[in-house]
Amino acid sequence: MSAFLDSVKARAKADKKTIVLPESMDRRTFEAAAVVLKEGLADLIILGTPAEVEANSQGLDVAGAVYIDPNTSEKTEAYVQQLYEMRKAKGMTPEQARELLTKDYMYFACMMVKNGEADGVVSGACHSTANTLRPSLQIIKTAPGTKLVSSFFVMVVPDCDMGENGVFVFADCGLNQNPNPEELACIAGSSAASFKELVGAEPRVAMLSHSSKGSAKHADVDKVVEATRIAKEAYPQYMIDGELQADAAMVPSVGSSKAPDSPVAGKANVLVFPDLDAGNIGYKLVQRLAKAEAFGPMCQGIAAPINDLSRGCSSDDIVGVIAITAVQAQAKK
């Protein structure tokens, strides 16, 4: 296990938070829950019917979790009324609210967080990103002062002297298809904050491109140049620079030759990709070719920590994301 995950787990244990797991229909949820409970990383609430829980938890020690069936919970009626009040202007009826809360457990999970009965949610092992984020944005909404919800991965690269001893944040690799300069700047600010919160070191943010400091001319380069200008103005507390090619961002010798006056070049630990294609391809290449651990996609910009798993995740991945979600919840408090 990486030093990064060791450190996150230690922080999670030191101030336990309550995390909701709405995917009782997936065996991996219970495999992860058994580890989280054994290691004392978080208090867990698992949503599901007794039949779902029994079918998917056989042979695992998950007695320490709290189990809630949204179909029979005493909380459901109050949540129905509350969700109806929140969404009636959008045309929602009480019947539709009840249907969502009892059939789509992510809605129930978000209501628990909204009402202070839990600190965060981890979902997505068997649901799409849209299914995870839609209820979050309808119920919990964006964090104060944040214009955009985006996603990031914590990448832990073994035997690597770049980044922060091999630890990086990559963004946005899961959510925003083709961000404009303002959105890209917002992703940079959120990613710097996420890096500081989770890694505990000073973020050095590189705005990536196929160009370094004017080496190429193209509208795609102009977008990153403008995003860098906006980000530096909006987030003066962070070191942000661009546009930089990936090697200029990470390799000291290349950084000093391609961008000698940059405070970030050659030592970036936060990489902001120009679009979702680049970000998604980039993280998967590093994960597979460098055998890196990829924790995410984690969400940033929501008012409470709601994290979306990759559907190809292992139960170990879920344990890592639960620990990270708990640490994010500590920061929110």
Q: What is the mean pLDDT of residues 256-264?
A: 95
Is residue 112 predicted with pLDDT exceeding 80?
A: yes
Q: What is the pLDDT of residue 117?
A: 96
Residues 247 and 249: their CA atoms lie apart, in Å, by 5
Is residue 146 predicted with pLDDT exceeding 90?
A: no
Q: What is the pLDDT of residue 1?
A: 61
| 226 or 143, greater pLDDT | 226
Residue 275 has φ and ψ, to the nearest 5°, of -155, 175
Residues 200 and 205: their CA atoms lie apart, in Å, by 15
Residue 98: Cβ within 10 Å count: 19
Provide the terminal-to-terminal Cα distance of the chain, rounded to the nearest Å: 28
Residues 262 and 217: their CA atoms lie apart, in Å, by 20
Is residue 174 predicted with pLDDT exceeding 90?
A: no
Q: What is the pLDDT of residues 197-216, one digit of tens each?
A: 999 999 999 999 999 998 99
Of 48, 130, 137, 44, the residue nearest 90 (C-alpha): 137
Q: What is the pLDDT of residue 132?
A: 86
Is residue 5 predicted with pLDDT exceeding 80?
A: yes
Is residue 333 predicted with pLDDT exceeding 80?
A: no
Q: What is the pLDDT of residue 64?
A: 96
Q: What is the pLDDT of residue 313?
A: 87
Q: What is the mean pLDDT of residues 95-107?
A: 94
Residues 278 and 285: their CA atoms lie apart, in Å, by 10
Q: What is the pLDDT of residues 275-316, one digit of tens each?
A: 999 999 999 999 999 999 988 888 999 999 999 888 888 999
Residue 114: Cβ within 10 Å count: 19
Q: What is the mean pLDDT of residues 9-31?
A: 96
Three-state SS sequence of 286-299: HHHHCCCEEEEEEE
Q: What is the mean pLDDT of residues 139-164?
A: 92
Place 2 in a pLDDT band, splitting at 50, 70 and 90: confident
Q: What is the pLDDT of residue 332?
A: 82
* 139-143, 208-212, 228-232, 324-328: least confident range: 139-143
Q: What is the pLDDT of residues 63-83, one digit of tens each?
A: 999 999 999 999 999 999 999
Q: What is the pLDDT of residue 325?
A: 95
